Amino acid sequence: MTVKSMPVVSLKPDLRSAQGTRVQKGIIIRFFRVISLVFLDITCLVLAWNLAIFYGEDLDDPWAKKESLLVLTIVLQIGIIAVKGLYKGGINRRNYSSLFKAISTSQIFLLLIAFLYESNYYISRSSFIIFWFLSVIFLCVQRYIFDVVTKHLRRKGVMRHSVFLITDSAEKENHIKIIEQENCYTVQGIADSSCLDLRNRDKTFEYLRRQGIVEAFVSWNAIKNRLYLCWHFYTAGITLRILPTKSEHCHPKSTLLVIGGVPCMTISAPFIIGTDFLVKRCFDLCCSIVLLLLLSPIYLLIALLIKLDSPGPIFFRQERIGLHGRKFKIWKFRTMVANAEKLQASLEAKNEIKDGVLFKMKDDPRVTQIGKFLRLYSLDELPQLFNVFLGEMSLVGPRPLPRRDVEKFTSHHFVRQEVLPGITGLWQVSGRSNIDNFEDAVKLDITYIENWSLWLDLTILLKTVKVVVQKTGAY
């Protein structure tokens, strides 16, 4: 009997892993733009300060005489402008109303600091008002000139981003017009949605890497059934912009930016590509080694109890389907009678999972006495730390399933096989065995894949401890 799974590529990595750690493409241009804006803003603020001191009231003002306070003023104003996101690209640096609010907020802080710092002296109110007024005027004018110069250079073909468009022929012309309205992109290639299909996917991303593509525009219709593909763009260091249709909804990792006058879902690429999944693997490796050493006395105690409870081996090894359909042997402490797998066929009619993909029974007669205790506290899963150490599993991820379950998969279930399976996951901390429908479990797995982060893994691990201690849904 063969497993209905996708073609197996032995060296194919986890969906979330990058092909090496590297700096995001185009980051040098963006860094130069930000540094230029910061330098111009500082120049404008220093000029506004000196003019305010020159034309303000001639008082014994310690605020005007100390250069250290000028430095504090500049740092505070630049910091607030940065916090407001006004050094980001596109419409952000042209947001004059937010720039006005940022400068005004910094002026309020400066007045408060001036009052507390030198409460025994008069502070020139006219100097502050002039400084605030000139700061607003100079910064807005400088940003406007910067924007005009940038647009002129882009019309000449300088400082443009190489982008790739993936859309169906019916939407191609409209999407090209949207991209061209922004006047900062060069469309380097166009393909239809079939380039994201499983058989074409690797060639597509290899082509994008060779061409040095910084951003990719993908129509919602081309990606709505392939949302986990966002990880392919993310790990390739390519910013993904999803062009809308009338019925789109936001992806969990996306932010809305206006491109060509329309809202566009954007999933930004990381500055340093590949580090987050590398940290995950290092964390898995270190934790598995430490836990195997610390828990070795418990391993010996459980092994002794299993031997005394029923005849048969201490460990149970079963073939599971893991990353990209690869088969591997999962390790568990034996909790059933020795011939449990042969007896399962006679119990299929009592399966409590409604769609029949998984096999679960609350009062399974094959479970031994010590097995019930081990399952209650999930102690039977401890040997899977060996699978984590060998790189076959992770601490957190979708549970690897037996061949019997995978043979009943439909096409949309195979997204689970795109990431490294885990000992625990979102499914386990959201009800464990109480989930009686495999589709509900798949939805939780997809939610985990779409929202994955190191913090999410840590949160699931902490919740797992709570669920195990409380024995929630365990049998």
Set out the domains of the chain in order of their start, with CATH numbers. 28-155 (no CATH), 160-273 (3.40.50.720), 275-470 (no CATH)
57 Cβ contact partners less than 8 Å away, ≥ 6 residues apart? 124, 125, 126, 127
What pLDDT digit, counting tens, does each position of 439-475 carry? 777 888 888 887 888 888 999 999 888 888 776 655 5
Q: What's the mean pLDDT in 277-306?
A: 91
For residue 4, name the pLDDT band (cuts at 50, 70, 90).
very low
pLDDT higher than threshold 70 for residue 432: no
Q: What's the mean pLDDT in 417-433?
A: 80
Number of neighbours of residue 52 by Cβ within 10 angstroms: 21
pLDDT higher than threshold 60 for residue 215: yes
For residue 8, name the pLDDT band (cuts at 50, 70, 90).
very low
| Alpha carbon 124 to chain centroid, angstroms | 50
What pLDDT digit, counting tens, does each position of 37-83 carry? 899 999 998 898 888 877 766 545 555 556 667 787 788 888 888 88
Q: Is 130 exposed, middle or buried (0-12, 13-18, 19+ CB in 10 A)?
A: buried
Report pLDDT for 1. 38
Lowest mean pLDDT among 251-260, 317-326, 327-336: 251-260
SS (H, E, C) 323-371: HHHCEEEEEEECCECCCHHHHHHHHHHHCCCCCCCCCCCCCCCCECHHH
State what percent of residues in the chain have pLDDT above 70: 75
For residue 395, name the pLDDT band (cuts at 50, 70, 90).
very high
Report pLDDT for 156. 76
Residue 126 tokens, joined:
């006219």
Q: What's the mean pLDDT in 287-298?
A: 93
Q: What's the mean pLDDT in 117-138?
A: 74
pLDDT higher than threshold 60 for residue 355: no
Q: Is 49 exposed, middle or buried (0-12, 13-18, 19+ CB in 10 A)?
A: buried
